Structure 1
Amino acid sequence: MNRRLVYVIGPSGAGKDSLLAWLRARLDPALPIHWARRTISRPAQAGGEAHESVDVAAFEQLRDQQAFALHWKANGLHYGIRHAELAAFTAGSWVMVNGSRAYLPQAQASYPGLTVLHITASADILRQRLLARGRETPEMIEARVQRAVDLRLPSQGAVLEVRNDGALDAAGERLLQALGQLTEWPRLPANPVTTRDRPAP
C-alpha cells in the first residue's frame, strides 16, 4: 500500500533534517522502516547526510536513463530517489523519503495515497531562524516565509503536521505520537511473559 511511503516536507527553517535525525536515532533498527537514500548533485560532507553524491552531468544522465522513482530540483541542486530505495514499501516495510514541497503533486501522482508528513514552525520562528543563518536577504527570507504560510496541504489521504517551534525533544515526541496514529505503523511486539518473569505468588 502506498500509505507506507511517508513523504516528508517542510520549509527552510523548520528544522526538518534535525527532527528526522532525532527520529531515526530513536526508532529501533529492528522495525521494518527504511530511510530512502537520496542522490544529490553536491559533494558529501563529514557529519552530513549520507547521500549518493554525483555531479550535475551524472545526475542528468541517471534521470534520462529512468534511474529515479522520484526526482526534483531545489535551491540549485538536483535530488533523486532511486527505484531500489522504494522497493521496501512494496514488500511490506515503511519507507521515509525526505522530499520537496514543490514536488509533492508529482510524488502523489506517482504514488497515490502516500502519507504526507509536514514538519513546520510558526512564521515568526521561521523568520528568526532564517535571519540567524545570514545566508539570504530579508526580502528572500520573507518570500520563503510567505510560501510556507501559503502552503495548502492535500485534503485527501493521510496528512500529518508536526510543529517544531521549540525544543527538539518536544517536537520529536509529537512526531512519534503522530506517526503512532497511522494504521499499521510498525511497533515492536511486547516481550511475552515467561514463567520466570512472572512475580512469585
Structure 2
Amino acid sequence: MSGSARLFAIVGPSGAGKDTLIAGAMAALPDLRLVRRVITRPSDAGGEDFEGVTPEVFAMRKAAGEFALDWGAHGLCYGLPAAALQAPGTVVFNGSRAALPQALDRFPDLVVILVTAPDAVLATRLAARGRETVGDIRLRLARADFALPPGITPRVVVNDGSQAQGVARLVAALQPDRG
C-alpha cells in the first residue's frame, strides 16, 4: 500500500449497517475511497457493490496474487484486489472480524472501526434485507457478539439511531485526530 494512504477496516455483525454508513461517509467525504470486494456469490445477489465470481475464478485470481487480502466467511470467499490499495488517500473496506489478524499483519497501520447495533435492531435489519431465513438470522445474531481478536482496540460506531446519526458517527471515526 502507498505510504501516504490511510487504510480503515470497517467490521461488525451482519445488519449493523456497514454498507449504508460507508455509502453515507463517501458522500460526506469525497476523497474517501471504498475497495470493491471480490466475492464468490452472484453479482445480482443484492447488497453492496461487489464483483461476483465463481469459486474457481476466485481461486485462480488468488493463486495469481491478485488479492492483497482474502478470507472466508459465511461459506463465501472474499478478496480485496491489491491494485485497489495502491493509490494514496483514505481507503476503507468492509472486512471480517476473523480476518483482522491477517489484515493487521499485512497492513500494520490499519485502523479498525467496529460498527455495531443492539440485537433487536440487527434482527429487524436482517429481516428487511430478505436474503436470510429466520434460522439464518438467528445464526447471524448468535455471532453478533463475536469478540475481536486479542490486541485489537477498534474505534466503535454504534448505529442505533437514524441513518444521518450513524453516518456522522462513522465520519467522526474516520478522522485522523482520533486515537
Give the TM-score category using the shorter length.
0.7 to 0.9
2: CA distance, partners of 1:166 / 1:84? 36
Residue in 2 that maps onto 1:76: 75
Match of 2:166 among 155, 171, 185: 171
Q: 1:112 is paired with a residue of what secondary structure? A: coil
Q: How does 1:181-192 map to 2 (within 5 A)?
A: 182-183=176-177
The SS at the match of 1:23 is helix
> Residue 69 of structure 2: SS of its match in structure 1?
strand
2:107 paired with 1:105: no
Residue in structure 1 matched with residue 134 of structure 2 by the alignment = 137
Q: Which residue of 2 aligns with 1:190?
A: none
Identity %: 41
Whichever of the two has the greater Rg, that structure is 1
Name structure 2 gaps, 5 residues minimum.
none
Partner of 1:36: 35
Determine if contact 1:36/1:81 at 8 Å carries over to the other structure. Answer: yes
1:3–1:113: 8 Å Cα contact kept in structure 2? Answer: no
Displacement, 1:152?
Answer: 3.3
* Residue 13 (1) aligns with residue 10 (2): no
Displacement of 1:46 in angstroms is: 9.3
Mark the CA change 1:37 to 1:130 in structure 2 (over 3 Å): closer, same or farther: closer
The size of the alignment, in residue pairs, is 175
**TM-score (normalised: structure 1):** 0.74
Q: CA deviation at 1:13?
A: 1.3
After superposition, what is the alpha-carbon deviation per residue over 1:41-84, rounded to whole angstroms, capped at 9, x for unaligned?
A: 23323985433332211111111122111111222222111111
Within 1, Cα distance between the matches of 2:70 and 2:86?
A: 16
Shift of 1:2: 8.8
Q: What is aligned with 1:160?
A: 155
Q: Extract unaligned runs of 5+ from structure 1.
A: 185-201
Offset of residue 11 of structure 1: 0.5
Alpha carbons 1:2, 1:114 under 8 Å: kept: no
TM-score after normalising by structure 2? 0.83
Structure-2 residue corresponding to 1:65: 64
Contact 1:163 1:171 in 2 (8 A): yes
